[in-house]
Amino acid sequence: MNILAYKPLAKNIEFDSDMMWVELIDGRKLGVPLAYFPRLLNASVQQCLQYEISGGGSGIHWDALDEDISVEGLLLGIGDSTEHSLTQAA
């Protein structure tokens, strides 16, 4: 059985000093540590707020930061998996 009964879709994004808060269309609010996404962690507040909800809510995109995040991936606990972020964590 798939743990996701239906495709989760983002409605709105908010930030605080160390978290990204993703509001889903079903009313849930998901808190994700910015540490999971180094580009967002190191970005200015202005840069973080320049996002676009893409794919009808299935993704979040930051053009200036070259960052794309899957909402489904967030629910599954998947963070940034680029080679650059993996070498920083080692």
Contacts of 5 (CB under 8 A, 6+ apart): none
Judged on CB neighbours under 10 Å (0-12, 13-18, 19+), 51 is buried
* The pLDDT of residue 78: 86
Q: What is the pLDDT of residue 40?
A: 97
> How confident is the model at residue 83, as a pLDDT?
52
Tell me how far the alpha carbon of residue 22 is from its chain's centroid: 7
Residue 27 carries which DSSP code? S
Domain residue spans in the chain? 13-81
Assigned superfamily of 13-81: Uncharacterised protein PF10387, DUF2442 (3.30.2020.40)
pLDDT in tens, the chain (90 residues): 455 567 899 999 999 999 999 999 999 999 999 999 999 999 999 999 999 999 999 999 999 999 999 999 999 988 887 654 444 444
Nearest-angstrom CA–CA distance, 54 and 41: 21
Q: What is the pLDDT of residue 90?
A: 42
